[in-house]
Every structure is written in structure tokens, then in C-alpha cells.
Structure 1
Amino acid sequence: MPVSSFIELSAGDKACLLDLVWLVIDSGLAQGGLTLPEAPESEALLNPAACFVTLHQGGELRGCIGRVDACEPLWLCACENAYGAAFKDRRFAPLRSEERESLTLDISILSPLTPMENQGEAALHSSLRPNIDGLLMDDGHRRALFLPSVWQSLPDPKDFVSALKQKGGWPQDYWRDTITLHRFTTQVIAS
């Protein structure tokens, strides 16, 4: 199923989604394992959507897990990704109880992925919209994605693409016409 369009969320929907995500994280800390809350009644949160959940500790990245396919309701995708970001992100040790108080999170709901023509790396640099575009880069065996929020730490398109290639395990001078590119935007709910 393709990635959903942006879902219209009321202030109540956003608050409910944040509450559900925090419940999953708190339950994971208290009991270990993923315990899902009951599905919300909100029609908007029941719509299929793709999202990422990003955790921060003292302003630093503490975990980020997500999906680009809209195969589950938004609330379920966000809850599963929150658990993954807290306890399953291989870059970090599982979240500990003493970290909870200073933890913040963002839920990034993805727009549809828009294919970009691969006209070379220089053309990509000039076509990216800083602080707007997220980028998915795929070359068959390797795949890497940056959310639009990454522009805050990498504001130059060349640095943004270079860091994305590094994240995906490609050499810095790597570029092939087989690379597929997709851009997207996000709607962010922060806590």
C-alpha cells in the first residue's frame, strides 16, 4: 500500500496519539516487551499511515525507528515505532527508567513518497529543498532515509546527501544511475 497523504489531526487526536506512544514506552520500561493499548476511537488515528518516532535525550538523538509504507493504522504504527525507537534501535542500548524523565519525542507522519528522477548527484543537490524534503535513497542492496528534521544538523544539501550515503553504507564517491530517489515531507507532532 502506498504511503498515506497527510491525515488531518485535531489537537485532541495529536494529544491522544502522544498519550498512546508514551503508554507503550512506559509499559516497556515497567514490564519489558511491547504492550499495545486499546485502539483509539478517533477515525483519523485509525487511518493507515506511515510514520517515524524519534527520541531525544538532552537534545541528542536517542533512537529513531519508522516505516515508509502505510499498511497499519497511524496509532498502531506510531506505537510500534515508539517501542522500537526506545528498545530496539541497534545504535543505542535499550532505554532505561532513569532516562525517562528527560526523554522527548517526535512523531513524523510521512506524506506520499514522490519519485525523483536520478540525473546525478549534483542535480540532486540543487533540487532538494532544505528544511522541507526528506529523502529516501535506494540502490537495490542498500537503502537509507533522512527525515526533514535532519536538515537542522546538516543544512547544506551536499552534506545532507553525503551523510545519507554514509548512513546507507555507500562510499562518499559512490553514484550510479541505478539509485532510486524519493522525496517526502512530514507532519511532526512533538512532545
Structure 2
Amino acid sequence: MISEDNGQYLVEIAKEAISTYLETNLRIPVPEDCPDELKEELGVFVTLNKKRRLRGCIGYPEPVKSLIESTIDVAISAAFEDPRFPALKTEEYGDLEFEVTVLTQPELIEVAHPKQYFDEIEIGRDGLIIQKGYARGLLLPQVAPENGFNVETFLEHTCMKAGISADSWMDESCDVYKFQGQIFK
């Protein structure tokens, strides 16, 4: 997907976007020295941790604009608009750990029987999106190993993230997608 150097560049951009927004309430522009590789349209998430605990995580699961623009957007959103947390305060900035996850295009997993998901999903490699009607939940690839999930538990937690019952992944009206992510810290 993208080079390690460009991944680290995105981490620095996420930090700068949040720092600038804290100070000025303004969005930073795309830097003039932005590598061409980061102008490609890809999905991306920015995760903020504070003392090893989640402090914010927002992203675009699918490509909607250039990777650099998306990273700036979701960094600011993770810090100030994640509904699970209050807006970031200036005094918290120094305690943050920054993580940028660049995503592949989500791929619908087609199975004849729900138990086949166990063969199609690899813990540590795949992230999941589960959609049933208007309900949609996403968990990044790193969530399963960080929490000791097996495939079934990962499916259940993705359903719960969508606000649907944990066993909805077994329902034929439920679509399960997988994607991979490159993680930069």
C-alpha cells in the first residue's frame, strides 16, 4: 500500500492537524511537500490513545477524498467529534499516542453458510464491517488481537458496534465485509 516513510508522514500530519486545531480552531491545509502517494483516495482511521486507553477514533472506511485530506479530517474528528468522548483539551495533547490506519477497499465476504466466515476471516490481518439495513459497524484489524478475540467474538463485537444483536452475523440479511489496514504509530 504505502511506504513506511509516508505512513510516518501521515502520523505527523495528524499530530499537526490536532495541535493547530487546538490553538487556532482552524483546519490545516494540505502541505505543499505532500508526497504524491498520499494524494491517492484511500480509507483511513486516526486512533488516539491516552495512557494506553482509547481517547478517540474516527475514520473513513471507504475512499472519499485523498489520503492526506482524509487524514487531516479524521484526526480533527477523532480529537474533537468522537461522540464517546468530550472534545480534547490542550492539556491532554502531550499524553496522546497517535495511530493512523490506512485501509484497503472493503470486500464483501460471500458465504453459503455463516460458519464459513471462520475460514474467510483472519485475526490480526482483517478488519470487519457488518451492515444490516441502515445499521453499520466497523472494527479495525488491530481490535481483535488487542482484545484476544477469536473470529466469532470479533463478528459479535462488530455487530454490537453496529447497534444490532451480537448474533446478527448469522442472519442472511446481514452483509459482512473484510478489509486490511496498514498501521502507523
In the alignment, structure 1 segments of 5+ residues that lack a partner are 1-5
Contact 1:24 1:37 in 2 (8 A): no
- For residue 45 of structure 1, report the CA deviation from its aligned partner: 1.2
Match of 1:181 in 2: 176
Match of 1:94 in 2: 87
Match of 2:160 among 155, 163, 166: 166
Match of 1:115 in 2: 108
Q: How does the TM-score come out when normalised to structure 1?
A: 0.88
Alignment of 1:125 with 2:122, yes or no, is: no
Q: Deviations over 1:135-174 (max 9, x none)?
A: 1111121000110010111422222111111111112343
In the alignment, structure 2 segments of 5+ residues that lack a partner are none
How many Å separate the matches in 1 of 2:163 and 2:111?
Answer: 19
How many Å separate the matches in 2 of 1:25 and 1:172?
Answer: 35
Distance 1:57 1:120, change over 3 A: farther
What number of residue pairs does the alignment pair up?
183
- For residue 116 of structure 1, report the CA deviation from its aligned partner: 0.3
Percentage identity across aligned positions? 23
Alignment of 1:40 with 2:33, yes or no, is: yes
Contact 2:62 2:105 in 1 (8 A): no
- For residue 39 of structure 1, report the CA deviation from its aligned partner: 4.4
**Helix, strand or coil for the counterpart of 2:142?**
helix
Q: Deviations over 1:94-138 (max 9, x none)?
A: 111111111011110011222101444433234321111101111
Contact 1:114 1:184 in 2 (8 A): yes
Contact 1:154 1:160 in 2 (8 A): no
Contact 1:125 1:161 in 2 (8 A): no
- For residue 73 of structure 1, report the CA deviation from its aligned partner: 1.2
How many Å separate the matches in 2 of 1:28 and 1:9?
Answer: 27
Match of 1:72 among 59, 65, 68: 65
- For residue 10 of structure 1, report the CA deviation from its aligned partner: 4.8
How many Å separate the matches in 2 of 1:129 and 1:28?
Answer: 37
Q: Choose 170-179 or 107-116, whichever is displaced more.
A: 170-179
Distance 1:58 1:158, change over 3 A: same
Superposed CA RMSD in Å reads 1.7
Q: Deviations over 1:15-44 (max 9, x none)?
A: 322222111100111122434343433111
How many Å separate the matches in 1 of 2:154 and 2:92?
Answer: 29
**Helix, strand or coil for the counterpart of 1:148?**
coil
Match of 1:85 in 2: 78
Contact 1:133 1:183 in 2 (8 A): yes
**Helix, strand or coil for the counterpart of 2:86?**
coil
